[in-house]
Amino acid sequence: MFAKYIIRLDDASPFMSRNKWDRMELLLDKYNIKPMVAIIPNNQDEKLILDEYDEKFWDKASSWQDKGWEIALHGYNHKYISKERSIVPINDYSEFAGLSLEKQKIKIQQGIKVFKEHSLTCRLWIAPAHSFDENTILALQSESEIDTISDGIAFSLFWQHGMFWIPQQLWRARKMPFGLWTICYHPEMMSEKEFNALELFLEENSKNVTTLNSITLKKREKNIFEKIFEILYWKILERKKSSR
Three-state DSSP string of 8-50: EEEEECCCCCHHHHHHHHHHHHHCCCCCEEEECCCCCCHHHCC
- The answer for 237, left when phi > 0, alpha when psi is -120 to 50, beta otherwise, is alpha
How many angstroms separate the CA atoms of 60 and 80, rounded? 27
pLDDT tier at 244 (50, 70, 90 boundaries)?
low
Cα within 13 Å of Cα(2), Cβ side? 8
How many angstroms separate the CA atoms of 150 and 13, rounded? 18
**Residue 153, pLDDT above cutoff 70:** yes
pLDDT at 89: 84
pLDDT at 237: 79
Q: Determine contact, residues 77/47, Cβ cutoff 8 Å.
A: no
Render pLDDT for 172-225 as a digit per residue (tens, 0 to 9).
999 999 999 999 999 999 999 999 999 999 999 999 999 999 998 889 999 999
pLDDT tier at 85 (50, 70, 90 boundaries)?
confident
Starting at the edge strand found earlier in the chain, the sheet holding 180-185 runs 158-160, 163-166, 148-150, 124-125, 70-73, 36-39, 4-12, 180-185
Which DSSP symbol is given to 128? G
pLDDT tier at 243 (50, 70, 90 boundaries)?
low
Render pLDDT for 26-54 as a digit per residue (tens, 0 to 9).
999 999 999 999 999 999 999 999 999 99
**Residue 124, pLDDT above cutoff 80:** yes
Its pTM stands at 0.93
The enclosing H or E element of 182 equals strand 180-185
Q: Determine contact, residues 150/182, Cβ cutoff 8 Å.
A: yes
pLDDT at 167: 96
Three-state SS at 60: helix
- Give 4-242's CATH code, choosing from 1.20.1580.10, 3.40.50.300, 3.40.50.1110, 3.20.20.370: 3.20.20.370
Nearest to 32, CA basis, from 215, 217, 205: 205
Render pLDDT for 171-185 as a digit per residue (tens, 0 to 9).
999 999 999 999 999
pLDDT tier at 236 (50, 70, 90 boundaries)?
confident
